[in-house]
Amino acid sequence: MSDVSTLDIDALADVLRRTDQLEAVDVALGIAAAGVPVLPVAPRAKAPMLTSDHTSECGACREVGLKPEKDHGATTDPDTIRRWYVAHADAGVGMKDHPALLRGDGDFATADDSKSYRKAAGFTTAAEPEPCEASTPGGPYRRRFMHSVPEGQVIAGGGTEALGVSWYQNSGYVVVKGIHPDAGIPYPRFHGDITPVPAAVVEALTRGGSRTVGDSESSVSVGTASAFLDAHKLMTNPRYLERRRRNVATARAGDRHHTAITELTAALKDAMAGHYPARTAVDTIKAALVEAGWGADRFKPNAQGHSEWTDLVRWAVAQVQDLDPAQVRAEIDERRRAAQTAALSAQEPPPSDEDYVDLTDEALERALKDWGAGTSTDTAERAADLSRFRFHRLGDRLSDIPPVEFDIDGYRIRPTFGTTAGELKTLKSTVAMAVYVAQAAGVAALGHFAVPRPRPVLYVVGEGGEVPFLRRMVRLRDAYGLTDADLAHFAYTADTAPMNDLSFVASILGQLEALEADAGCPGTVIIDPKYAVHPADTDARNLMSEGAMLRAATAPIANAGWSFDLVDHFNQTGSGLGLKRVTMAGAGEWADSWTLLAHREQPKVDEGSFRLDMQVGSRQWGGADWWLDVELGRFDAELMEHDGDIRFTVRRPEDRTDDHGADEDAATALAITKVFQRARKPVTRTDVVTRVKGRAVDTRRVLSEMVDDGRVIEHQDQVEDARGRRQTRVVLTLCDALSNVTTLRPRGTS
């Protein structure tokens, strides 16, 4: 129910017309005095100030004791308001939606769209009094409107669409004073008087299905909605949901609520037809709204346990729950057949017999018959499926191969997918975290492997929980000497689901898009560990089943241009290092890159000292074996955590169990040197390994040592291929000091 008695309309309008003349604290106090709760907005932002994201990092807030608060601290209390602006004189002002007010947000694309709304709403240039309206830096034609609501009427929910404008009455807030985060200029003031809601807007809001969300008479109870969602669980055509998710995620701000209503209602009908579970539909549309920019307040329940989101779900369920599932399936099939027929009709007709003179009349008749049968659902679905497969002509592609690029030099090529795996207690998670903290910050990983440029990271924490993860991250940050700002593009989540959960995948893809937009480049997704997201219905012992699951999980991340690292365990029956030691089937066959860890000495857990063998490998560039020494500090039994500085040492293996000693190494180094001396064109690592006699593993190791100590120089150069075209490749050259050498002594001798 609207409560006009608590609101001084004239006083509120007076403040809104003078926001450009008043300080933020005076704007907030004036709005509160008029009867509308206000909240502080973080400086140069739209987000509320009293959240953990802001107050945990802000010294000014901590100094005066400001903390995250329920409903972001919205209040009319003047003392509380003054305390906010003592801490942050530059904070903005957010005005909460009020039941006696209707706020409109018109995200018009053109001036004509704005004029069309004003005409439909009944406004003219001679309107008296002038309606309360403001422009916004968010777009040249965006407008904000403010109207009073007749007592006793609830005519809009939160973001209900009518006449091309989103209307808010019972949730959210609007920034009325502050600096726009994108445009960098103050929010313009309102002008005009707060007039009653135009009759045309009321009519549009109360007419038709999607324009009455929030009306309790057109919704169902939470229990009824939950029962409906639990009743529809079949999964036969999950790909249909992706289009609906995309439509919501990419909808314009002014159309987002309406699009969500439309797509969710249609998705629930799809669920009734058995295409995918109803709860998956709800979760996917919700994830799309988060991806599109819906704030947490729109999902947050009020005192009655409702939110804008739950109202939307309850309303959508009410529209479909009484429908006959058989009739729904028939209608969906009919629409699909009509769309398929239209698509096929738009295609060119089959060739005539004049074009195909080698066809017999019988063959031509059969071809025409096959073409005409294309209106069937099966044929059209096959055509749609076939469009997913891309074929290329090799001669057209060889000149477009991108140059070799590493995310982490000598450790991870770009792009790639694979695993970090190891024996029990080989610090798999710690190593993975350390490596990708370095990638996000642009510092040498493990203090050894250079990072050419910082790249964003999304880390899925599936083991141990959020707090232990953050504790370890603090220690890694300090070990690298980083600041919190260095990790601005390192995101994580402790919420997991099976890798075949569409809403889980959609939420990850949405986060990748946001990270890439912020960082300016794609990065890496890490899931730690695999068992936390492994689908229960996939047989991990079956190579084909497990391999297909891993490929399906990798594909959407790879298609987005991101790399993927899956933390896994070794089986307990094998020995040594190798992909075959990764537990269960499929991982070894699937992985393109890998880091494998094993104990080379018994770990000293109490002292926090670990001596590890580390194999870094890739199907794209080879790999190398390393010794990795990790010092975690003393183990504190009370804290159940290691305490002290973390230190990493990476070095080449010193043991020579194959009896390939110093003399043999010197001979191999000389053979490598002669390869360079005889070469008439740039030399690659593969060229060296191919031309030097002996074991490839020894050649690779000695060559890597020569690169490490500067005897061989690695760089990028233009290389001519077999067809004379020049390609960028990583090549090697000999240092000047060895250009004429004919003998080499063992290292360490004089």
124-133, 238-247, 535-544, 608-617: which has the minimum mean pLDDT?
124-133
Which regions of 430-505 does DSSP assign to beta strands (E)? 457-461, 490-493
For residue 128, give every residue at least 6 positions away whose Cβ sits within 8 Å of its Cβ, in sequence order, or none: none
pLDDT exceeds 90 at position 707: no
For residue 625, give every residue at least 6 positions away whose Cβ sits within 8 Å of its Cβ, in sequence order, or none: 577, 613, 614, 615, 616, 652, 653, 701
Predicted pLDDT of residue 582: 83
Cα 702 to its chain centre, rounded Å, is 41
DSSP string for residues in 708-735: HTTSEEEEEEEEE-TTS-EEEEEEEEE-
One-letter amino acid of 229: L
Predicted pLDDT of residue 572: 67
Predicted pLDDT of residue 623: 86
For residue 261, give every residue at least 6 positions away whose Cβ sits within 8 Å of its Cβ, in sequence order, or none: 161, 210, 213, 312, 315, 316
For residue 367, give every residue at least 6 positions away whose Cβ sits within 8 Å of its Cβ, in sequence order, or none: 350, 359
For residue 38, give every residue at least 6 positions away whose Cβ sits within 8 Å of its Cβ, in sequence order, or none: 28, 31, 32, 74, 75, 76, 81, 93, 94, 95, 96
73-87, 557-571, 701-715: which has the minimum mean pLDDT?
701-715
Q: What is the mean pLDDT of residues 495-517?
A: 87
Predicted pLDDT of residue 746: 52
Q: What is the mean pLDDT of residues 509-522?
A: 90
Report the range out of 119-133, 328-342, 630-644 with the highest average pLDDT.
630-644
Report the range out of 56-70, 207-221, 595-609 with the highest average pLDDT.
595-609
Spatial separation of the C-alpha atoms in residues 10 and 7, rounded to whole Å: 9
pLDDT exceeds 60 at position 743: no
Give the H/E segment covering residue 105: strand 101-107
pLDDT exceeds 90 at position 540: no
Q: What is the mean pLDDT of residues 28-47?
A: 90
Q: What percent of the chain has pLDDT over 90?
A: 22
Q: What is the mean pLDDT of residues 508-526?
A: 92
3-state secondary structure of 195: strand
Strand partners, 612: 599, 628
pLDDT exceeds 90 at position 442: yes
More confident residue, 71 or 731: 731
Two structure tokens written together for 554:
């990798």
With 0-12 / 13-18 / 19 or more C-beta atoms within 10 angstroms meaning exposed / middle / buried, residue 492 is: middle
Q: What is the mean pLDDT of residues 425-449?
A: 94
Q: What is the mean pLDDT of residues 351-379?
A: 47
User: Which of the four pLDDT bands, split at 50, 70 and 90, describes residue 455?
Assistant: very high
16-30, 180-194, 428-442: which has the minimum mean pLDDT?
180-194
Spatial separation of the C-alpha atoms in residues 551 and 545, rounded to whole Å: 10
More confident residue, 398 or 3: 398
* CA 122, 125, 129, 133 torsion-angle sign: positive
User: Which of the four pLDDT bands, split at 50, 70 and 90, describes residue 388?
Assistant: low
Spatial separation of the C-alpha atoms in residues 240 and 266, rounded to whole Å: 11
DSSP state of 32: H
Q: What percent of the chain has pLDDT over 70?
A: 79
- Domain 413-651 classified CATH 3.40.50.300? yes
Predicted pLDDT of residue 322: 84
Report the range out of 56-70, 108-122, 154-168, 283-297 with the highest average pLDDT.
283-297
331-340, 645-654, 670-679: which has the minimum mean pLDDT?
331-340
Q: What is the mean pLDDT of residues 47-65?
A: 76
Predicted pLDDT of residue 186: 87
Q: What is the mean pLDDT of residues 19-39?
A: 92
Predicted pLDDT of residue 657: 44
CB atoms within 10 A of CB 119: 12
> CATH fold of 662-738, please?
Arc Repressor Mutant, subunit A (1.10.10)
Q: What is the mean pLDDT of residues 520-528?
A: 95
pLDDT exceeds 50 at position 272: yes
User: Which of the four pLDDT bands, split at 50, 70 and 90, describes residue 213?
Assistant: very low
Predicted pLDDT of residue 138: 67
Average pLDDT of the chain to the nearest whole number:
79
What pTM did the predictor assign? 0.44
239-259 residue pLDDT tens: 678 888 888 888 766 567 778
Closest by alpha carbon to 134, among 172, 175, 189, 201?
189
